[in-house]
């Protein structure tokens, strides 16, 4: 029978069907970071267990680590302790850990693909909701909790609740100025933050096929903001070419047999999905959020909606709360909103392509005098390549605070890179929740190009405004 991509991966990794609602699956790669992992290792010790496959486990220091200097680790005792615990646990259990600032270190969802560690048809997990990023490689990539981290460490398997399948078809092509981030915001706005609940969402169609791997990773990264269990995209030449380049960096070559096997990881032509959604890419425009959830976004030609125009009590109540927190009003346009902080980075938009997009807008221009713009590369490799290409010089000449360490930074506001109370940012990260970037901080999310234009004008802006 014809199978969906998800069904193919699940069938190849199912160890056992535990009951009518749960499978036990094998995990090919387990990614760790310093947050929420100490408890899992403590659980192993208490039970007298070892890590089942340490060679299939990789750790990095990224979530609340400093981005100004490695020495800054010593300025926060809590952060220092978390990092030291990760290092000690990895050493004890034989796990490779990428230390802050060393070659290869970076945000967990940036470094794994660029190092060629994510393969089509594979499974991987991480204690982070945006693990869905890796689904761009036709991999089943799942965010898990701390107890599940311990289970995977001990058994190299995961108890996986049954999931439904959804195909999100984006027909036609995106406009020249429209990015994968805009597409993701359009999907979440149109279908809601709960549209993907219980589903593995496969993105398909001409617009998806035309995206770079970086764009596909952005789209899959944001799928969790639509409630999806995972986002996934089938293999094509774009996938294979990216992997070939990633392998070449480390002196490896792709095995033709592997490539032939990987190409099978696409949904069959007659496969049936539990749900089907469709968007015309030609209707997607640049978008920025105005509220406190990713679904509350508008285009530059739209006003912030009036509460009366919203459907359902829940949506109206969320809007009322967003108006109060974000200090915006119905009818206001994006261009009327002043910004004091701009952030380019995160696992959503911290890749080289994203830095290039921001630099292209900033070239020959200066950041507004009232704006502090911070750019944090998604990995040390991204940082090194940006320097080789002179992108860092473009940023510096424009007055950007360009960091030479990699980390999650202002996306989660766990380190010194956070907003002060009452500050308003344009961020390329994935969430605009209340307090996400700092207590009482106000976050608008958009693309790297929009972020750069906003930094120049001091208000939310499209590059076309320049």
CATH number of 292's domain: 3.30.499.10
- Please compute, for residue 426, the number of CA atoms within 13 A of its CA located in the half-sphere on the CB side: 31
Q: Per-residue pLDDT tens for 421-444?
A: 999 999 999 999 999 999 999 999
CA distance 21 to 325: 40
CA distance 64 to 80: 10
The answer to whether position 250 is within a domain reads no
Shared domain for 345 and 428, answered yes or no, is yes
Shared domain for 293 and 385, answered yes or no, is yes
- The number of distinct structural domains making up the chain is 3
CA gyration radius for the chain? 21
The answer to whether position 227 is within a domain reads yes
The answer to whether position 116 is within a domain reads yes
- Among the listed residues 196, 167, 214, 183, the one whose alpha carbon sits nearest the alpha carbon of residue 280: 183
Q: What is the pLDDT of residue 405?
A: 97
The answer to whether position 129 is within a domain reads yes
CATH number of 230's domain: 3.40.1060.10
**Domain boundary at 162, 188, 204, which?**
162
CA distance 83 to 14: 34
Shared domain for 297 and 206, answered yes or no, is no
The answer to whether position 261 is within a domain reads no
Shared domain for 295 and 271, answered yes or no, is no
Q: What is the pLDDT of residue 249?
A: 87
CA distance 174 to 463: 16
Shared domain for 124 and 195, answered yes or no, is no
Shared domain for 98 and 152, answered yes or no, is yes
The answer to whether position 243 is within a domain reads no
Q: What is the pLDDT of residue 254?
A: 94
Reduced to 3 states (helix: H, G, I; strand: E, B; else coil), residue 287 is strand
Shared domain for 292 and 433, answered yes or no, is yes
CA distance 430 to 291: 13
Cβ-based neighbours of 245, under 8 Å, separated by 6 or more: none
- Among the listed residues 368, 364, 371, 357, the one whose alpha carbon sits nearest the alpha carbon of residue 428: 357
Shared domain for 222 and 119, answered yes or no, is no
Mean pLDDT, each 10-residue run in order, the chain (466 residues):
97 96 98 94 97 98 95 93 97 98 97 97 98 98 97 98 98 97 98 96 98 98 98 98 94 95 97 98 98 97 91 88 96 98 98 98 98 98 98 98 96 89 97 95 98 98 98
Shared domain for 124 and 184, answered yes or no, is no
Tell me the whole-structure pTM to 2 decimals.
Answer: 0.97
Shared domain for 458 and 310, answered yes or no, is yes
The answer to whether position 372 is within a domain reads yes
**Domain boundary at 138, 162, 186, which?**
162
Give the mean pLDDT of the chain: 96
Reduced to 3 states (helix: H, G, I; strand: E, B; else coil), residue 419 is coil
Q: Which domain holds residue 399?
A: 287-465
> What's phi and psi for 350, nearest 5 deg?
-115, 20
The answer to whether position 258 is within a domain reads no
Shared domain for 224 and 363, answered yes or no, is no
Shared domain for 388 and 421, answered yes or no, is yes
CA distance 291 to 127: 27
> What's phi and psi for 34, nearest 5 deg?
-80, -15
**Domain boundary at 162, 186, 216, which?**
162
């Amino acid at each position: 029978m014809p199978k969906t991509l998800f069904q193919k991966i699940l069938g190849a990794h199912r160890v056992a069907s535990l009951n009518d609602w749960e499978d036990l699956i094998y995990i090919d790669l387990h990614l760790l970071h310093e947050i929420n992992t100490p408890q899992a290792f403590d659980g192993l010790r208490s039970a007298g267990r070892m890590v089942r496959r340490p060679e299939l486990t990789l750790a990095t220091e990224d979530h609340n680590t400093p981005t100004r200097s490695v020495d800054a680790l010593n300025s926060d005792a809590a952060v220092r302790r978390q990092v030291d615990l990760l290092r000690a646990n990895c050493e004890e259990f034989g796990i490779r850990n990428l230390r802050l600032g060393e070659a290869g270190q970076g945000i967990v969802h940036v470094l794994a693909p660029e190092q060629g560690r994510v393969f089509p048809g594979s499974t991987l997990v991480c204690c982070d909701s945006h693990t869905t990023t890796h689904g761009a490689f036709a991999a089943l990539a799942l965010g898990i909790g701390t107890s599940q981290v311990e289970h995977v460490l001990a058994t190299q398997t995961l108890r996986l609740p049954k999931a439904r399948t959804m195909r999100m078809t984006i027909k036609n092509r995106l406009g020249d100025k429209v990015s994968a981030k805009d597409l993701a915001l359009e999907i979440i706005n149109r279908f809601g933050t709960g549209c993907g609940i219980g589903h593995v969402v496969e993105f398909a169609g001409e617009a998806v096929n035309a995206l770079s791997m970086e764009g596909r990773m952005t789209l899959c990264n944001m799928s969790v903001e639509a409630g999806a269990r995972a986002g996934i995209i089938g293999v094509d030449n774009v996938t294979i070419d990216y992997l070939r380049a990633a392998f070449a960096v480390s002196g490896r070559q792709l095995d033709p047999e592997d490539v032939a096997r990987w190409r099978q990881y696409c949904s069959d032509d007659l496969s049936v999905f539990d749900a089907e959604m469709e968007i015309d890419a030609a209707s997607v425009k640049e978008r920025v959020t105005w509220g406190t959830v990713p679904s509350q976004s508008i285009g530059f030609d739209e006003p912030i909606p009036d509460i009366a125009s919203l459907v359902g009590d829940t949506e109206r109540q969320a809007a009322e709360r967003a108006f109060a927190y974000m200090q915006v009003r119905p009818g206001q346009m994006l261009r009327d909103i002043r910004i004091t902080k701009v952030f380019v980075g995160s696992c959503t938009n911290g890749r080289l392509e994203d830095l290039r997009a921001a630099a292209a807008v900033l070239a020959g221009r200066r950041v507004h005098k009232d704006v502090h713009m911070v750019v944090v590369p998604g990995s040390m490799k991204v940082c090194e390549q940006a320097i080789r290409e002179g992108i860092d010089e473009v940023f510096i000449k424009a007055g950007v605070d360009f960091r030479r360490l990699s980390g999650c930074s202002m996306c989660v506001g766990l380190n010194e890179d956070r907003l002060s109370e009452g500050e308003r940012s344009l961020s390329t990260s994935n969430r605009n929740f209340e307090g996400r970037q700092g207590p009482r901080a106000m976050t608008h999310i958009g693309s790297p190009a929009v972020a750069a234009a906003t930094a120049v004008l001091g208000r939310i802006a499209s590059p076309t405004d320049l």
